[in-house]
């Protein structure tokens, strides 16, 4: 556990973000390795099937993960205030919520998967494998929630290193099981889903056993667990806007797939691969933003509001430098990166065009996320939800549809940075207004400054 309320903001945030970034890179390798092995051994139809499953999976889990993020913010603020009893209760409440949510998500997903794939007009040659992968993956969603909740709780407590160790183990296990199930056992896309379930489940169970013996605050025991209604209400108040925001994003991804699907299997496969590369390339900005949220939460919980501005500026500089470097790297290596997933020339060409356009504007994505990190850390999740709604549903999706009718698939790619630009501008304006300062869970009485004229 790390106290982020003392010391230089930039150094603290970098030290906290680095292990988290490495860990999330390994976590994203789940999806990347799945796609590389599926694309090279099962073909572009299977590659498109795995890629098309993720927006639907994201829709099902995003609302739950968003609400759980409200618990993480509460945990960080109580930890900053040194109220360990409330920290413990917040962790227990989060576990109970995620357990029952996973059961609901599994049931809904399996019941309506075919109808949703048909709604977005997934190509007929992709549908059977998409359903197989999706339904098998859903069978282990409870392990996914458990694994990610463990990491989120530890980040709220200022510990970004411990989750890294379990993510590394899980990723290596996933790679080995992918090769075993797909290449050796010939289980197809179902093998990729099973490999992910086993690797996540193993890491989750191992992490709980380890943490129960090493972390005094973290002690998962179903017999002693306490569900606190008041904390849950606070989590809901903070988390519902985040959950809706994540849901808007996931539904936007599905809507974009609906537009992309009109251009055939080659474009769907290329878009699926490009998103995998995108997910890795945008990780630095996202992790800096998460680290900043924890930093802001702890400092506001400790009544040190004056440290927030320094943390934001330091994070923005670091994130911008990294984003520019990543943009340059991806643009230069775009065809090589696409070639790792498939040898189909048409798929490579379409994906490389996407990367050239979208990856050139990562700095806009970085600015939007870093400012959002301050707002979420303060517990102000409602306005970021509206920003996402505007940037995605008012700008990106309509622009994608209009431009795609005149420019083809390339019009969809240009709409993505357009949405980022609008989101970054609105986020900055709202931050400058200062309303987020009134949203903290823990309230301190205002201390009036002495009147020097008296």
Q: What is the pLDDT of residue 451?
A: 46
Q: Is residue 445 part of a domain?
A: no
Name, of 118-122, 243-247, 362-366, the range with top average pLDDT: 362-366
Asked if residue 242 has pLDDT above 80, the reply is: no
Q: What is the pLDDT of residue 95?
A: 85
Name, of 60-64, 289-293, 439-443, the range with top average pLDDT: 289-293
- In sign, the C-alpha dihedral spanning 217, 218, 222, 228 is positive
Q: Which of 9-13, 18-22, 127-131, 284-288 has the lowest mean pLDDT?
A: 18-22
Q: Is residue 317 part of a domain?
A: yes
Q: Which two tokens stand for residue 364?
A: 């806009």
Question: Where does the pLDDT of residue 180 fall: very low under 50, low under 70, confident under 90, or very high at 90 and above?
Answer: very high
Q: Is residue 364 part of a domain?
A: yes
Q: What is the pLDDT of residue 200?
A: 87
- In sign, the C-alpha dihedral spanning 240, 246, 248, 250 is negative
Give the gyration radius of the chain's Cα atoms.
22
Kindly give, in sequence order, each residue whose CB lies less than 8 Å from that of residue 227, ignoring residues fewer than 6 positions away: 92, 93, 96
Q: Are 13 and 312 in contact (CB under 8 A)?
A: no
Asked if residue 304 has pLDDT above 50, the reply is: yes
Q: Is residue 369 part of a domain?
A: yes
Q: What is the pLDDT of residue 344?
A: 92
Mean pLDDT (the chain) is 85
> What share of the chain in percent tops pLDDT 70?
94
Q: What is the pLDDT of residue 454?
A: 36
Q: Are 414 and 272 in contact (CB under 8 A)?
A: no
Residue 394, domain extent: 9-438
Measure CA 223 to chain center.
Answer: 31
The pLDDT tens digits for 101-143 are: 999 999 999 999 899 888 888 888 889 999 999 999 999 999 9
Q: What is the pLDDT of residue 437?
A: 80
Measured distance between the N- and C-terminal CA atoms of the chain, rounded to whole angstroms: 46
d(CA 78, CA 52): 40
**Cα-flanking dihedrals φ and ψ of residue 281, to 5°?**
-70, -30
Q: Is residue 300 part of a domain?
A: yes
**Cα-flanking dihedrals φ and ψ of residue 134, to 5°?**
-60, -50
Q: Which two tokens stand for residue 284?
A: 């630095």
Asked if residue 196 has pLDDT above 80, the reply is: yes
The pLDDT tens digits for 140-166 are: 999 988 887 887 777 777 777 787 788
Q: Is residue 446 part of a domain?
A: no
Give mean pLDDT, residues 194-198: 92
Q: Are 97 and 156 in contact (CB under 8 A)?
A: no
Q: What is the pLDDT of residue 453?
A: 40
- The DSSP annotation for 39-71 comes to HHHT-HHHHHHHHHHHHHHHHHHHHHHHHHHHH
Q: What is the pLDDT of residue 441?
A: 62
Asked if residue 402 has pLDDT above 90, the reply is: yes
d(CA 41, CA 35): 10
Q: What is the pLDDT of residue 170?
A: 85
Q: Which of 248, 291, 306, 315 is nearest to 66 (CA)?
A: 248
Q: Which of 134-138, 170-174, 215-219 has the lowest mean pLDDT?
A: 215-219
> What share of the chain in percent tops pLDDT 90?
34
Give mean pLDDT, residues 370-383: 85
Question: Where does the pLDDT of residue 445 fall: very low under 50, low under 70, confident under 90, or very high at 90 and above?
Answer: low
**Helix locations, 262-381, DSSP H:** 265-281, 283-301, 308-332, 334-339, 345-358, 362-377
Asked if residue 435 has pLDDT above 70, the reply is: yes
Better pLDDT: 398 or 62: 398
Q: Annotate 187-212 with three-state secondary structure.
A: CCHHHHHHHHHHHHHHHHHHHHHHHH
Q: How many residues does the chain have?
A: 454
Q: Is residue 393 part of a domain?
A: yes
Contacts 24+ apart (CB under 8 A), 225-230: 225/92, 225/95, 225/96, 226/88, 226/89, 226/92, 226/93, 227/92, 227/93, 227/96, 228/89, 228/90, 228/92, 228/93
When divided into structural domains, the chain yields a total of 1
d(CA 104, CA 140): 13
Owner of token pair 């993960």: 65
Q: Is residue 453 part of a domain?
A: no
Asked if residue 211 has pLDDT above 80, the reply is: no
The pTM assigned to this predicted structure is: 0.72
Asked if residue 71 has pLDDT above 90, the reply is: no
Asked if residue 449 has pLDDT above 50, the reply is: no
Q: Count H helices and E strands in the chain, helices first.
A: 17, 0
Q: Which of 104-113, 200-209, 235-244 has the lowest mean pLDDT?
A: 235-244
Angle between helices 84-119 and 229-261 (to 10 degrees): 30
Contacts 24+ apart (CB under 8 A), 355-359: 355/274, 355/277, 355/278, 355/330, 355/331, 356/331, 357/410, 357/413, 357/414, 357/416, 357/417, 358/274, 358/278, 358/413, 358/416, 358/417, 359/278, 359/281, 359/326, 359/327, 359/330, 359/331, 359/334
Asked if residue 334 has pLDDT above 60, the reply is: yes
Q: What is the pLDDT of residue 274?
A: 92
């Amino acid at each position: 556990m790390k106290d982020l309320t003392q010391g230089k903001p930039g150094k603290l945030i970098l030290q906290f973000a680095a292990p988290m970034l490495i860990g999330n890179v390994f976590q994203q390798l789940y999806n990347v390795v799945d796609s590389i092995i599926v694309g090279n051994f099962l073909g572009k139809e299977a590659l498109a099937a795995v890629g098309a499953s993720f927006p639907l999976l994201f829709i099902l889990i995003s609302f739950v993960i968003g609400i759980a993020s409200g618990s993480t913010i509460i945990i960080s603020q109580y930890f900053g205030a040194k109220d360990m009893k409330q920290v413990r209760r917040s962790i227990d409440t989060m576990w109970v919520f995620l357990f029952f949510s996973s059961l609901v998500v599994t049931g809904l997903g399996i019941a309506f998967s075919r109808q949703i794939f048909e709604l977005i007009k997934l190509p007929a040659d992709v549908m059977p494998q998409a359903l197989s992968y999706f339904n098998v993956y859903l069978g282990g969603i409870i392990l996914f929630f458990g694994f990610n909740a463990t990491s989120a709780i530890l980040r709220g407590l200022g510990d970004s290193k411990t989750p890294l160790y379990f993510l590394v183990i899980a990723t290596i296990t996933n790679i080995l099981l992918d090769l075993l199930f797909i290449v050796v056992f010939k289980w197809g896309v179902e093998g990729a889903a099973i490999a992910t379930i086993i690797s996540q489940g193993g890491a989750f169970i191992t992490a709980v056993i380890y943490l129960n013996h090493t972390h005094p605050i973290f002690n998962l025991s179903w017999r002693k667990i306490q569900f606190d209604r008041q904390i849950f209400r606070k989590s809901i108040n903070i988390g519902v806007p985040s959950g809706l925001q994540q849901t808007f994003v996931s539904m936007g991804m599905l809507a974009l797939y609906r537009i992309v699907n009109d251009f055939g299997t080659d474009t769907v496969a290329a878009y699926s691969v490009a998103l995998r590369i995108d997910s890795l390339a945008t990780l630095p900005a996202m992790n800096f933003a998460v680290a900043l949220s924890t930093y802001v939460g702890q400092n506001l919980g400790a009544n040190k509001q004056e440290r927030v501005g320094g943390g934001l500026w330091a994070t923005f500089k670091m994130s911008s430098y990294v984003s520019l470097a990543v943009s340059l790297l991806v643009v230069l290596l775009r065809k090589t990166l696409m070639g790792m997933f498939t040898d189909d020339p048409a798929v490579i060409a379409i994906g490389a065009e996407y990367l050239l356009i979208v990856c050139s504007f990562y700095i806009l994505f970085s600015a939007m996320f870093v400012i959002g990190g301050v707002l979420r850390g303060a517990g102000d999740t409602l306005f970021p939800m509206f920003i996402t709604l505007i940037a995605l549903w008012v700008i990106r999706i309509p622009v994608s549809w209009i431009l795609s009718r005149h420019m083809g698939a390339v019009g969809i790619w240009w709409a993505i940075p357009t949405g980022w630009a609008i989101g970054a501008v609105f986020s900055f304006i709202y931050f400058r207004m200062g309303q987020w300062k009134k949203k903290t869970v823990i309230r301190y009485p205002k201390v009036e400054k002495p009147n020097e004229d008296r």
